[in-house]
């Protein structure tokens, strides 16, 4: 297609597509517009930056803007926001530091990501109430904790004087984390590492809903052991305070806190697409085909704003995760460069560190979801060891494996334990792609040596029990 390959959004999906397209077709102009100042950054590392495991925000940047321009030949423009797409004219409208202009495209990729959901809580605008979805928010949380910048600078950072006085006088001592998803749990650990009392609010009966109740139960016991005050089945009404947050209100509860982190999920950024007549799918994200194309042949979508096909259900799903975005972006880059490449299916494979525990999941973990997808689910939960029982340091691993009663096919799994979980889940993820039965899974030739696994790996044991 004539004309440049234009990409909206300069993170995982956008920069993967840009890099691949330019590498495979160096003569094609590749133009990326990123409305912020950061590109190719690892949002996944933000909780560890707040915690202090990662020293600077720069450490989270994979490739600098200069390297994209000078070494990869990509026309990358930061601080440029795309405000409209004209599909008939094949142009986008861009607002940058020098004003507004039109940019023609041959192919267009919408890689606009997602945004943190902010419920209409009372007091949501008080100082000390944060979401965590980008680099600047992470920096603001550290500043509010008084970690990077003298608290006296807070007014210059845009905080109210009252907050500065408050932080200077005492420093935050307690925090409400609202939402028991993976960001909420990672942030609970980060705040606890700085000595804050952590209250974690979850409106559902369990945290980590996509990981299943069996794994969540183990995590919740561990969170309590770590001193996190869990408020399950508890819907937050809002934040209380004059200038800065002083308490969280939830039904009859009013709990004093100095800081609040709202982590109740993300919503795909679809406004630009919708205004241009690009269709959304049943999940509310942009509908795409197996090549990441939207309902317009020349317009692709990838990453947190787009649907993908689920490997188990075969239907559209929206699971906003980093590899999905990188992979789809790379495939679209190849397609645009002349080598049609499917974006692949997703299994929703994910892992989370919850203090000293590893939790992981893949495929369908919930029996109800499996029934809705037309399966007759059966599940087993086993406990096994992470190493040979006689080898020092072995830990318990709990595996829940879900299968289809009729076909014997493995549908998904969750795991939790102190070690050997986060990567072990990949075996089950691979089995999902191979459409294996529990019997086939239980007969895989997996590595064994006492320091790494029992002779029957926990995955094999779960397969045997489910078979």
Name the residue nearer to ligand FAD (CB basis): 40 or 151.
Answer: 40
The secondary structure of residue 122, as a DSSP letter, is B
Work out how close the CB of 99 gets to ligand FAD at its nearest, in angstroms, rounded to a whole number: 15
Question: What is the chain's length?
Answer: 467
Query: In whole angstroms, how large is the CA radius of gyration of the chain?
Result: 23
Rounded distance between C-alpha atoms, residue 117 and residue 140, angstroms: 18
Structure tokens at 281: 């799918």
Active-site choice (44, 54, 67, 319): 44
Pairing type for strands 350-354 and 238-240 reads unpaired
Rounded distance between C-alpha atoms, residue 286 and residue 278, angstroms: 7
Handedness of CA 64, 70, 74, 76 (dihedral sign): positive
Work out how close the CB of 426 gets to ligand FAD at its nearest, in angstroms, rounded to a whole number: 13
Name the residue nearer to ligand FAD (CB basis): 345 or 396.
Answer: 345
Rounded distance between C-alpha atoms, residue 24 and residue 175, angstroms: 49
DSSP 247-312: EEEETTEEEE-SEEEE---EEE--HHHHHTTPPB-TTSSBP--TTSB-SSTTEEE-STTB-EEBTT
Work out how close the CB of 437 gets to ligand FAD at its nearest, in angstroms, rounded to a whole number: 28
Which residues here bind ligand FAD, judged by CB under 6 A?
8-14, 33-36, 43-44, 46-47, 81-82, 111-114, 132-133, 183, 269, 272, 303-304, 320-323, 325
Name the residue nearer to ligand FAD (CB basis): 112 or 400.
Answer: 112
Name the residue nearer to ligand FAD (CB basis): 336 or 466.
Answer: 336
Name the residue nearer to ligand FAD (CB basis): 61 or 240.
Answer: 61
Strand partners, 262: 178
Pairing type for strands 30-34 and 75-78 reads parallel
Rounded distance between C-alpha atoms, residue 179 and residue 234, angstroms: 10
Q: Please say if 44 is a catalytic residue.
A: yes
Name the residue nearer to ligand FAD (CB basis): 311 or 462.
Answer: 311
Work out how close the CB of 43 gets to ligand FAD at its nearest, in angstroms, rounded to a whole number: 3
Work out how close the CB of 168 gets to ligand FAD at its nearest, in angstroms, rounded to a whole number: 28
224 three-state secondary structure: helix
Rounded distance between C-alpha atoms, residue 446 and residue 426, angstroms: 12
Work out how close the CB of 302 gets to ligand FAD at its nearest, in angstroms, rounded to a whole number: 7
Number of H helices and E strands in the chain, helices first, is 13, 25
Q: How many CB atoms lie within 10 A of CB 265?
A: 15
Residues that are catalytic? 44
């Amino acid at each position: 297609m004539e004309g440049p390959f234009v990409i909206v959004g300069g993170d995982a999906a956008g920069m993967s597509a840009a890099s691949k397209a330019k590498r495979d077709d160096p003569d094609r102009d590749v133009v990326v517009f990123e409305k912020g100042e950061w590109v190719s950054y690892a949002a996944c590392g933000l909780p560890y930056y707040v915690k202090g495991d990662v020293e600077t925000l720069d450490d989270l940047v994979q490739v600098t803007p200069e390297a994209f321009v000078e070494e990869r030949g990509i026309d990358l423009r930061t601080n440029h926001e795309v405000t409209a797409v004209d599909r008939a004219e094949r142009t986008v409208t861009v607002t940058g530091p020098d004003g507004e202009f039109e940019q023609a495209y041959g192919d267009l990729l919408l890689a606009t990501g997602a945004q943190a959901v902010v419920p209409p809580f009372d007091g949501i605008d008080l100082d000390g109430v944060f979401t965590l979805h980008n680099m600047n928010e992470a920096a603001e949380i550290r500043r509010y904790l008084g970690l990077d910048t003298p608290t006296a600078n807070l007014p210059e950072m845009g905080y109210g004087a009252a907050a500065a006085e408050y932080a200077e006088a005492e420093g935050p001592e307690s925090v409400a984390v609202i939402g028991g998803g993976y960001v909420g749990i990672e942030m609970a650990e980060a705040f606890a590492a700085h000595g804050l009392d952590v209250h974690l609010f979850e409106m559902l009966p369990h945290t980590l809903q996509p990981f299943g109740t069996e794994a969540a139960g183990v995590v919740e016991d561990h969170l309590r052991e770590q001193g996190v005050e869990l408020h399950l089945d508890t819907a937050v009404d809002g934040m209380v305070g004059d200038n800065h947050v002083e308490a969280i209100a939830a039904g009859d509860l009013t709990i004093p806190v100095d800081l609040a982190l709202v982590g109740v999920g993300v919503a795909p950024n679809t406004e630009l697409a919708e205004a241009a007549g690009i269709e959304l799918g049943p999940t509310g994200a942009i509908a795409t085909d197996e090549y990441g194309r939207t309902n317009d042949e020349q317009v692709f979508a990838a990453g947190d704003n787009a649907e993908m096909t689920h490997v188990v259900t075969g239907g559209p799903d929206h699971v906003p995760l980093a590899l999905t975005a990188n992979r789809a972006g790379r495939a679209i880059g190849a397609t645009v460069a002349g080598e049609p490449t499917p974006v692949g299916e997703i299994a929703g494979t994910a892992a989370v560190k919850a203090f000293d525990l590893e939790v992981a999941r893949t495929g369908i973990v919930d029996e109800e979801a499996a029934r809705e997808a037309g399966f007759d689910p059966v599940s087993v939960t086993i406990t096994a060891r992470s190493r040979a029982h006689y080898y020092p340091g072995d830990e318990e691993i709990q595996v829940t494996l879900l299968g289809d009663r009729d076909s014997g096919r493995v549908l998904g799994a969750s795991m939790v334990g102190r070690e050997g979980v986060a990567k072990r889940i990949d075996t089950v993820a691979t089995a999902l792609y191979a459409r294996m039965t529990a019997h086939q899974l239980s007969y895989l030739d997996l590595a064994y040596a006492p320091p790494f696994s029992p002779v029957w790996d926990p995955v094999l044991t779960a397969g045997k029990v489910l078979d």
